Amino acid sequence: MKWKASIMLPTVNGLTTSTPKAPAQGLCRRVQRLGVALALLSSALPAAPAESHLPYLDGPRGIIQRGVQAVLLCNGVFTSERPLEAVFREELAYLKAPLGNPATVGEPSDAAAEVAIDRAARSVRIGALGQQSVSARYQPGIGCVVLPPDTSPDEAAPLPTLPEVPDATANDALPWPKGDLNALAEPGPEVDQAALAAASAWAFERPTAEQNTTALLILHRGKIIHERYAPGFDQDTRTRTWSTAKSLAVTLMGLLVAEGKLALDDPLPLSWGLSRALSPEADPRRAITLRQVLHMSSGLYPVDSWGGEYAIGSGLAYWAGASSQVGAQDRGLVRTPGAVWDYENYDTLLAVGAMKAVLGERYLTYPREVLLDPLGMDRTLLSTDRFGDFILSSQVYTSPRDLARFGLLYAQGGVFAGERLLDPAWIDFVRTPAPASAAIDNAYGGHFWLVPSTRTDVPASAFSTSGNRGQYVIILPEQELVIVRRGLDWGKQGFDRWDLLREVLKAF
**pLDDT tens digits, one per residue of 366-415:** 999 999 999 999 999 999 999 999 999 999 999 999 999 999 999 999 99
- Give 217's strand partners: 227, 484
Q: Are 143 and 79 in contact (CB under 8 A)?
A: yes
The Cα 499–Cα 485 span in angstroms is: 12
Q: Enter the DSSP assignment of 20.
A: P
Query: Going edge to edge, which strands form the sheet with 115-118?
Result: 115-118, 123-126, 134-139, 143-146
- Residue 13's pLDDT is 35
Report phi then psi at 300, rounded to 5.
-80, 165
The Cα 161–Cα 139 span in angstroms is: 6
- Residue 53's pLDDT is 60
Residue 351 pLDDT level (bands cut at 50, 70, 90):
very high
Q: Enter the DSSP assignment of 118.
A: E
pTM, whole model, 2 decimals? Answer: 0.89
Q: Which residues contact 496 (CB under 8 A, 6 or more apart)?
A: none
The pLDDT of residue 52 is above 60: no
Report the Cα 315 to chain-centroid distance in Å.
11
- Residue 57's pLDDT is 73
Q: Are 96 and 86 in contact (CB under 8 A)?
A: no
- Residue 32's pLDDT is 35
Tell me the per-residue pLDDT of 217-229, one tens digit each, with 9 for 90 and over: 999 999 999 999 9
DSSP letter string, 146-159: E--TT--TTTSPPP
Tell me the per-residue pLDDT of 150-164, one tens digit each, with 9 for 90 and over: 998 887 789 999 999
Residue 54 pLDDT level (bands cut at 50, 70, 90):
low
The Cα 125–Cα 111 span in angstroms is: 10
Asked if the peptide bond before residue 23 counts as cis, ω within 30 degrees of 0, the response is: no
The pLDDT of residue 365 is above 70: yes
- Residue 7's pLDDT is 29
Strands 415-416 and 115-118: unpaired
Tell me the per-residue pLDDT of 296-350, one tens digit each, with 9 for 90 and over: 999 999 999 888 888 889 999 999 999 999 999 999 999 999 999 999 999 999 9
Q: Report the length, in residues, of the chain.
A: 508
Q: When comparing pLDDT for 492 and 121, which is higher?
A: 121
Sign, Cα dihedral of 12, 15, 16, 17: negative
Tell me the per-residue pLDDT of 464-477, one tens digit each, with 9 for 90 and over: 999 999 999 999 99
With vertex at residue 211, the alpha carbon angle to CA 208 and CA 215, rounded to the nearest 5 degrees, is 135
- Residue 12's pLDDT is 33
Is 215 in a helix, a strand, or coil?
strand
Q: Are 76 and 70 in contact (CB under 8 A)?
A: no
Report phi then psi at 46, rounded to 5.
-60, 150
Residue 167 pLDDT level (bands cut at 50, 70, 90):
confident
- In a 13 Å sphere around the CA of 432, the CA atoms on its Cβ side amount to 8
Mean pLDDT of the chain: 89
Tell me the per-residue pLDDT of 16-49, one tens digit each, with 9 for 90 and over: 333 333 333 333 333 333 232 323 323 333 333 4
- Residue 186's pLDDT is 97
- Across residues 287-292, what is the average pLDDT? 98
- Residue 492's pLDDT is 84
Cα dihedral 487→489→492→495 (10° resolution): -20
- Residue 277's pLDDT is 62
